[in-house]
Amino acid sequence: MQRRTFLKGTAVTALGAAALTASLSGSASAADIPVASLTALQNAINGAAPGDRIIVADGTYTVPAGGSITISGKNGTGAAPITILSETRGGAVLRGARGFVLSNSSNFTISGFAFRQSTTLEIPADCSAIRLTRNDFRFADTGDPYWVVVRADDSKIDRNHFHDKTTAGIFLVVDGPGSTAMAQNLHILRNHFSDHSFTGDNGGEPIRLGVSGRALSAAGAYVEYNLFERCNGDPEAISVKSSDNTVRYNTIRDSRGGIVLRHGNRSRVEGNHLIGGVDGVRVYGNDHVIVNNYLSGLSGRALVVGSGTTRDHTPGETEAQRRGNDACDRAVIAHNSLIGNAGTLSGETRTYEPQDVTIADNLLVGDSGSLVAMGATSGFTWQSNLLWGAAANGNIPSGGFTRVDPRLSQGTDGVLRLTAGSPAIGAATMGGTVVTDDIDGDQRGTVRDIGADEYATAPVLRHPLTAADVGPNAA
Give pLDDT, residue 434: 85
Assigned architecture for domain 17-469: 3 Solenoid (2.160)
6 compared with 148, residue with greater pLDDT: 148
Residue 387's DSSP bridge partners are 364, 403
Strands (E), 176-309: 187-189, 192-196, 207-210, 222-224, 227-231, 236-241, 246-248, 251-253, 258-263, 268-270, 273-275, 281-283, 289-291, 294-296, 301-305
> Residue 267 — φ and ψ, nearest 5°?
-95, 160
pLDDT digits (tens, 9 = 90+) for 444-456: 999 999 999 999 9
Instruction: Place 3 in a pLDDT band, splitting at 50, 70 and 90.
Output: very low
CB within 8 Å of 398: residues ≥ 6 apart: none
Give pLDDT, residue 202: 86
- Do 72 and 103 touch, CB atoms closer than 8 A? yes
pLDDT digits (tens, 9 = 90+) for 49-99: 999 999 999 999 999 999 999 999 999 999 999 999 999 999 999 999 999
Give pLDDT, residue 343: 96
Domain assignments of the chain as residue spans, ordered by start: 17-469
pLDDT digits (tens, 9 = 90+) for 389-434: 999 999 999 999 999 999 999 999 999 999 999 999 999 999 987 8
Mean pLDDT of 204-221: 97
Confidence (pTM): 0.93
**Whether pLDDT at 213 is above 80:** yes
pLDDT digits (tens, 9 = 90+) for 13-49: 333 344 444 444 444 467 999 999 999 999 999 999 9
Give pLDDT, residue 141: 93
Q: Which of 41, 103, 109, 100 is nearest to 81 (CA)?
A: 109
Give pLDDT, residue 356: 98
Residue 54's DSSP bridge partners are 33, 84
